[in-house]
Amino acid sequence: MAKSIMILGTGSDVGKSIVATAICRIIKRRGYKVAPFKAQNMSNNSFVTLEGGEIGRAQVVQAEAAGLIPSVHMNPILLKPAGDNNSQVIVLGEPLGHFEAKEYYKNREEYFKAVRDSFETLRNEFDLIVIEGAGSPAEINLKHMDIVNMRVAREFQSPVLLVGDIDRGGVFAWLKGTLDLLDADDRERVKGVIINRFRGDVSLLEPGLKMFEEMTSVPVLGVLPYDLDLHIDEEDGIQRDKIGQSKSGSIKIGIVRLPRISNFTDFDTLFFEEDMQTRYILRPEEMKELDLIILPGTKNVMDDMQFLWEKGFADQVLQRDPDRTAVLGICGGFQMMGTRIRDPHHVESKRDESKGLGCFRMETVLELQKTKRQVELNTLPSANLPFSEPVKGYEIHMGKTELNEPVQHFLPDPNGPTGIISKSGDMLGTYVHGILDNDSFRLHLLNHLRRRKGIPESDRVLNYREFRDRQFNRLSELVAGNLDLKILDRIIFS
Residue type at 166 in one-letter notation: I
Check 73, 331, 359, 397 and give the catalytic one. Answer: 331
CA-CA distance, 46 to 80, in Å (whole number)?
Answer: 9
CA-CA distance, 98 to 89, in Å (whole number)?
Answer: 6
Instruction: Check if the beta carbon of residue 436 is closer than 8 Å to that of residue 404.
Output: no
10 Å CB burial of residue 109 (0-12, 13-18, 19+) is exposed
Instruction: Check if the beta carbon of residue 300 is closer than 8 Å to that of residue 348.
Output: yes
Neighbouring CB atoms inside 10 A of 159's CB total 18
Full DSSP string of 250-289: SEEEEEE--TTEE-GGGGGGGGTSTTEEEEEE-SGGGGTT
CB neighbours of 422 closer than 8 A, spacing ≥ 6? 359, 360, 407, 408, 428
CA-CA distance, 283 to 274, in Å (whole number)?
Answer: 25
Full DSSP string of 34-54: EEEE-SEEE-S-EEE-TTS-E
Tell me, yes or no, if 331 is annotated catalytic.
yes
Check 397, 433, 444, 448 and give the catalytic one. Answer: 433
CA-CA distance, 89 to 362, in Å (whole number)?
Answer: 29
Name the pairing type of β-strands 128-132 and 3-9. Answer: parallel
CA-CA distance, 172 to 175, in Å (whole number)?
Answer: 5
Kindly list the catalytic residues: 331, 433
